[in-house]
RNA sequence: CGGGAAGUGGCGCAAUGGCUAGCGCACCUGGUUUGGGACCAGGGGGCUGCAGGUUCGAGUCCUGUCUUCCCGACCA
């Protein structure tokens, strides 16, 4: 698209009180706008990144037979009472309808919805296993929203739920989810610094696992085993002070951002909703469940924290960049430049390569500064200077025009 | 929820209790300029978060309240 058509503008300055790097970059670059504390609007550029992250997540989940659906964000009180979480889940937004006086919640998580719903499609062991997921806005009444889009009161999350006839089958699927998550973080360019982390399992299993991306601004403290490239969350370090995989006692303390977590729920929720199936012996045991989350919007913020050089220079990983190419024409009053640039733009478009085309009549410094903020990793510059050599610059490298396929 | 800081045109900031609340960015008009956020000239846009109070006079002082950011606690 033409950069002039973007609804957003870049900014030179934002409030000094906003210290979070991801918020600074994303607001200055016109990817997001804050609506209130912990609540952000995603503008076209930011929304493209979100959708690109979602696409990677969808592609990887489809390889582990998970099916996408969409659950409601508005929940009845009764379902949360069944699990006793109406009172105990302090981040749950609760309110009363003005008209019907019905008590409602905004979904913080969806075990309370998916578990009773699953009864409609699970009757027999032959219906198992199955896995469903959604990508949806979650609401959590955080006491304090912070760190830009890393901890909001409203955020986008992928939540996956799996249903099994026995624990072994859950264990097997749990491991395939770990593999899928690993591929997701690799594709996002943070595979090397995102570690499978042992965390508390709550009441229903010894450990859960988190995926933690190393970053000094992270809220979490983890202890890393550098030989296994896994970590242990501080919350269980008392009971697990050595590497749970190799026994290495020399774990290194680091800060990190939690970008995913996976839980073996076992029968915690199937019991609450009496979700059962008929097995081969004609018995009716409880369904075994697992749940698996990835914070989509938090991942976007994490990528900024990792890939921004400072608060005015960002380079997105290619896989999630809002456009494949940033085509920048300088000296646009030169008809040769503007014609060649337009030709290039049309050529990329015809090949389904997405291009942000900056053919505005602006001085070069403006274009470069904005491009540095927007952070598209492939930058092609065409100017009188480059055309004198019958070439363009691709990420600083002079490249003959006719070598561009 | 406790502590700290701050709320002034769309954005970022300034203004000893005292003239008509300034400046930069952005915006509009005209002109120049074009390899790192250019420049000249002109122009539009404000009940200083809200509500009270003190005062001859309040953006400025006081009280309350709302909001935002930071630290802490919290984080199925």
CATH at residue A332: 3.40.50.800
The bridge status of strand A103-106 relative to strand A74-76 is antiparallel
Please indicate, yes or no, if residue A315 is contained in any of the structural domains.
no
Same domain for A279 and A373, yes or no, is no
A182 burial (CB, 10 Å; 0-12 / 13-18 / 19+) is middle
Entry field: residues in chain A? 405
Please indicate, yes or no, if residue A320 is contained in any of the structural domains.
no
Please indicate, yes or no, if residue A9 is contained in any of the structural domains.
yes
**Eight-class DSSP state of A39:** E
Same domain for A258 and A337, yes or no, is no
Distance (Å) from CA A143 to C1' B74?
Answer: 7
Same domain for A100 and A132, yes or no, is yes
Same domain for A295 and A333, yes or no, is no
Look up the CATH number of the domain holding residue A303. Answer: 3.30.930.10
Distance (Å) from CA A395 to C1' B73?
Answer: 47
The ipTM, to two decimals, is 0.94
Distance (Å) from CA A283 to C1' B18?
Answer: 89
Please indicate, yes or no, if residue A272 is contained in any of the structural domains.
yes
Segments of chain A scoring below 70 in pLDDT:
202-205
**Eight-class DSSP state of A147:** T
Same domain for A286 and A331, yes or no, is no
Please indicate, yes or no, if residue A319 is contained in any of the structural domains.
no
* Six token digits for residue A328: 């920048």
Same domain for A248 and A381, yes or no, is no
Of all protein residues, which has its CA closest to the C1' atom of B37? A366
Distance (Å) from CA A307 to C1' B71?
Answer: 26
Same domain for A363 and A269, yes or no, is no
The bridge status of strand A378-382 relative to strand A325-329 is parallel
Domain count, chain A: 2
Which nucleotide has its C1' atom closest to residue A235's CA?
B75
Same domain for A306 and A329, yes or no, is no
CA atoms within 13 A on the CB side of A327: 24
Please indicate, yes or no, if residue A348 is contained in any of the structural domains.
yes
Q: Which pLDDT does position A20 carry in this prediction?
A: 93
Same domain for A298 and A349, yes or no, is no
For residues A371 and A326, is the Cβ–Cβ distance under 8 A?
A: yes
The bridge status of strand A252-266 relative to strand A288-295 is antiparallel
Distance (Å) from CA A157 to C1' B3?
Answer: 32
Which nucleotide has its C1' atom closest to residue A388's CA?
B35
Distance (Å) from CA A175 to C1' B9?
Answer: 57
Please indicate, yes or no, if residue A351 is contained in any of the structural domains.
yes
Q: How crowded is residue A212: how many other Cβ atoms within 10 Å of its Cβ?
A: 28
Q: Which pLDDT does position A46 carry in this prediction?
A: 96
Same domain for A27 and A106, yes or no, is yes
Tell me the C-alpha distance between A29 and A374, whole Å.
5
Same domain for A219 and A333, yes or no, is no
Distance (Å) from CA A14 to C1' B65?
Answer: 27
Which nucleotide has its C1' atom closest to residue A138's CA?
B76
Please indicate, yes or no, if residue A317 is contained in any of the structural domains.
no
Largest Cα separation within chain A, whole Å, is 81
Distance (Å) from CA A297 to C1' B3?
Answer: 30
Which nucleotide has its C1' atom closest to residue A89's CA?
B76
Structure confidence by residue, pLDDT tens digits, A331-348? 999 999 999 999 999 999
Which nucleotide has its C1' atom closest to residue A208's CA?
B76
**pTM (two decimals):** 0.97
Domain that holds residue A341: 325-403
A51 burial (CB, 10 Å; 0-12 / 13-18 / 19+) is middle
Q: Which pLDDT does position A203 carry in this prediction?
A: 57
Q: Single out the residue in A276, A310, A344 at which a domain terminates.
A: A310
Q: Single out the residue in A310, A334, A368 at which a domain terminates.
A: A310
Which nucleotide has its C1' atom closest to residue A17's CA?
B69
Q: How crowded is residue A117: how many other Cβ atoms within 10 Å of its Cβ?
A: 18
For residues A231 and A196, is the Cβ–Cβ distance under 8 A?
A: yes
Query: What positions of strand B are covered by protein, i.e. any atom < 7 Å from a CB?
Result: 1-2, 5-6, 11-13, 24-26, 33-38, 67-76
Q: List Cβ neighbours of A73 (8 Å cut-off, separation of 6 or more).
A: A106, A107, A136, A137, A138, A139
Q: Single out the residue in A287, A310, A333 at which a domain terminates.
A: A310
Same domain for A35 and A81, yes or no, is yes
């Amino acid at each position: 698209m033409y950069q002039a058509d973007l609804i957003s503008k870049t900014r030179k300055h934002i409030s000094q009180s906003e210290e979070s790097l991801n918020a600074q970059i994303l607001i200055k670059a016109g990817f997001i706008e804050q609506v209130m504390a912990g609540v952000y609007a995603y503008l076209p550029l930011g929304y493209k990144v979100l959708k690109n992250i979602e696409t990677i997540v969808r592609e990887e989940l489809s390889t582990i037979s998970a099916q996408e659906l969409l659950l409601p964000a508005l929940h009845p009180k009764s379902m949360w009472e069944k699990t006793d979480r109406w009172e105990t889940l302090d981040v749950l937004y609760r309110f009363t309808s003005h008209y019907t006086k019905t008590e409602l919640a905004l979904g913080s998580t969806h075990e309370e919805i998916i578990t009773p719903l699953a009864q409609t499609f699970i009757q027999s062991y032959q219906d198992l296993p199955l896995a469903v997921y959604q990508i949806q806005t979650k609401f959590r009444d955080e006491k304090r929203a912070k760190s830009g889009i890393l901890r909001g009161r409203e955020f986008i999350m992928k939540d996956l739920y799996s249903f099994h006839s026995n624990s072994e089958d859950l264990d097997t699927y749990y491991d395939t989810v770990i593999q899928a998550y690993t591929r997701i973080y690799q594709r996002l360019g943070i595979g090397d610094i995102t570690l499978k982390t042992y965390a508390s399992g709550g009441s229903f299993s010894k450990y859960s696992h988190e995926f933690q991306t190393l970053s000094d601004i992270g809220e979490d403290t983890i202890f890393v085993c550098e030989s296994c490239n896994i970590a242990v969350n501080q919350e269980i370090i008392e009971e697990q002070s050595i590497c749970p995989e190799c026994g290495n006692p020399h774990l290194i303390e680091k800060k990190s951002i939690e970008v995913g977590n996976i839980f073996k729920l076992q029968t915690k929720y199937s019991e609450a909703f009496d979700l059962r199936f008929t097995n081969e012996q004609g018995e009716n045991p409880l369904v075994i469940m697992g749940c698996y989350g990835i914070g989509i919007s938090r991942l976007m913020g994490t990528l900024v924290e990792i890939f921004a050089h400072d608060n005015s220079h960002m380079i997105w990983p290619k896989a999630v960049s809002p456009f494949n190419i940033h085509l920048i024409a300088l000296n646009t009053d030169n008809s040769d430049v503007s014609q060649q640039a337009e030709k290039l733009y049309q050529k990329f478009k015809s090949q389904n390569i997405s291009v942000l085309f900056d053919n505005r009549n602006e001085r070069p410094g403006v274009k470069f500064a904005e491009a540095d903020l927007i952070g598209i990793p492939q930058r092609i510059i065409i100017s009188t200077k480059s055309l004198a050599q019958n070439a363009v610059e691709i990420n600083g490298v002079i490249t003959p025009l006719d070598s561009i396929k």
